[in-house]
Amino acid sequence: MAGFKLSAGVGLLGLAARSLAVPAPIYSEPTTTFSVPKITAVVEPVTDVTSHGTYTGPSPLTTGALSTSVLAPSVPALPPGPDAYKYPSDGQLHAPQPAPYTPAGGVGTNGSAPVYRVLSDFDYQSIALALHQEWIELDLFHWGLATFSVEDFEEAGLTAEDRHLIEFMADQEVGHATLLSNILGPSAPNQCTYNYPATNVHEFIDFCQKLTRYGESGVYGFLNHLNAHDVGQLLLQSITTEARQQMIFRQFEGLFPMPEWFEVGIPQSWAWSLLAPYISSCPENNTRLIWQNYPALNILNQPNPFRINGSYVWNETTDGGYANTASYQDIDESDDCTKSTDVGASCAPGITRNRSMPLSYPGRQVFLEWDEPGKPIGPNNSYVTDTQAGAPKFAAWVSQLNVTYSPLENIQGNSAYTVQPDISSFDGNPAINGTIFLVLTDEDLYVTPYNLTQLNPHVYAVGMYQSG
């Protein structure tokens, strides 16, 4: 304080001396003695989950997704709506302004108070799905910290400061789960118990990185379709935090933090298909969801980010489908990038890393195996995998703004291979890079980011692909 006042100069001290009535100038030391009320909100109670592992309890009393009467097998594809081309995008104003500096139009701009309530089954089911995602993240981040020792983390290159960040990310989930529970009210789904495909720190980080990717993308898929735009606003402000978590886990894994120009959105049923297998049981009477559980897509040569030559792999996932989490077992020291310190080879935790050998590339043969529908899955094994699609013929690469199909070759029973296509979102930006979605379809239907859900009746199996 003294130093600051001295540096303010003689003239200023003179002013203060002349008139004591003059209010303290802004450059004076602020007082710290005011007491202000603490403004806070009660968080949703969180239990420390004690049991983990696959579900071994009694058969569920209720099975299958929630449903009501179903009006048609799919939503028909229609031409653009009547007003789609009405507004001339010419930089001029076309209507009187409701107020100064306020352009006409927009949603939720007429002054009516936002109430932050869901307005439709679509809204409820979407927010309930997002809430399940927040619950699993909360538990997963705590589980990793509790399960692996300080030595395990240090060995994986993650320091006390890094572990604090993981703990902080778990705390963020408390806030997100509280927010979404409050929006839904008393019927909001509660926290469940989970099982994770990870037996060491590296696999834990890889699973977190993949799980937060489908969490983030699952919300982007429905956010702009919600009836309740005020709810969408709150969810947006949570999911952007989740997006940062995804990137941090990539950095913890020594991957390039964001090799894409655009983040991808996916339909709710894909997100639920990827999430449900890792939920082992939910409390009695937990509110159920409407979403579909697709059969698993197992990527037999899923690129392994822990190898220097990550594309040179066979059958190295810990879960054999869905997230297709990388295994960190039996990797020769000479091909273990977590142990390397060479630029281009190292995948030690870092702000950014260059891989000189890509995890995947256009022209790569990708070997696939998929499950049949009809398998019990999810909480208490109380959901059942299902598809409305005919036999799979294509792999759909869903990344950034693009859905690109490559034909399945050499189909034998439930296995085939396909070849990674060479596509860009825009020139100079390979569309297939990062943690992306790979699904099998019976048709190469043209869909774009806002109508991707139209693909659902053609989807046979769902998985994630580590393309970069």
Ligand X SMILES: *[C@@H]1O[C@H](CO)[C@@H](O)[C@H](O)[C@H]1NC(C)=O
Residues that bind ligand X (CB under 6 A): 57, 60-61, 77, 108, 110, 112, 256, 259, 281-286, 300, 309, 311-312, 315, 343-344, 354, 357-358, 361, 380, 401-402, 404, 423, 425, 430-431, 433, 445-448, 451, 454, 468
CB of 158 to ligand X, least distance (A): 22
Work out whether strand 409-412 and strand 415-419 pair parallel, antiparallel, or are unpaired. Answer: antiparallel
C-alpha torsion sign, points 445, 451, 457, 462: positive
Instruction: Write a three-state SS string for 222-237.
Output: HHCCCCCHHHHHHHHH
- Amino acid symbol at 169: M
Pick 169 or 321: Cβ nearer ligand X: 321
3-state secondary structure of 274: helix
Pick 380 or 441: Cβ nearer ligand X: 380
Q: Are 192 and 380 in contact (CB under 8 A)?
A: no
Nearest to 167 by CA among 208, 211, 196: 208
C-alpha to C-alpha distance for 222 and 226, rounded to whole angstroms: 6
The DSSP-derived string for 123-136 is HHHHHHHHHHHHHH
Pick 126 or 380: Cβ nearer ligand X: 380
CB of 281 to ligand X, least distance (A): 4
CB of 435 to ligand X, least distance (A): 12
C-alpha to C-alpha distance for 427 and 414, rounded to whole angstroms: 36
CB of 311 to ligand X, least distance (A): 4
Nearest to 368 by CA among 416, 324, 321, 406: 416
| Angle, CA 205 vertex, CA 202 and CA 206 arms, to 5° | 85
CB of 179 to ligand X, least distance (A): 21
434: left (phi over 0), alpha (psi -120 to 50) or beta: left
Tokens 């949703």 correspond to 44
- Amino acid symbol at 229: H
Pick 170 or 377: Cβ nearer ligand X: 377
Nearest to 420 by CA among 436, 437, 432, 403: 432
- Amino acid symbol at 224: N
CB of 88 to ligand X, least distance (A): 20
Pick 344 or 390: Cβ nearer ligand X: 344
Distances (CA, A) of 9 to 3, 20, 158, 381: 11, 18, 48, 74
Pick 53 or 344: Cβ nearer ligand X: 344
CB of 222 to ligand X, least distance (A): 16
Q: Are 366 and 268 in contact (CB under 8 A)?
A: no
Pick 7 or 47: Cβ nearer ligand X: 47
336 phi and psi angles, rounded to 5 deg: -95, 105
Output the six-digit token pair for 327. Answer: 């295994």
Q: Are 271 and 129 in contact (CB under 8 A)?
A: yes
Pick 238 or 280: Cβ nearer ligand X: 280
CB of 5 to ligand X, least distance (A): 48
CB of 52 to ligand X, least distance (A): 13
Q: Greatest CA separation found in the chain? A: 94
CB of 245 to ligand X, least distance (A): 20
CB of 32 to ligand X, least distance (A): 44
Pick 25 or 106: Cβ nearer ligand X: 106
Pick 241 or 414: Cβ nearer ligand X: 414
C-alpha to C-alpha distance for 11 and 437, rounded to whole angstroms: 67
- Amino acid symbol at 276: A
C-alpha to C-alpha distance for 396 and 75, rounded to whole angstroms: 20
Nearest to 214 by CA among 439, 459, 414: 439
Pick 182 or 429: Cβ nearer ligand X: 429
C-alpha to C-alpha distance for 408 and 34, rounded to whole angstroms: 69
Pick 9 or 108: Cβ nearer ligand X: 108
CB of 87 to ligand X, least distance (A): 17
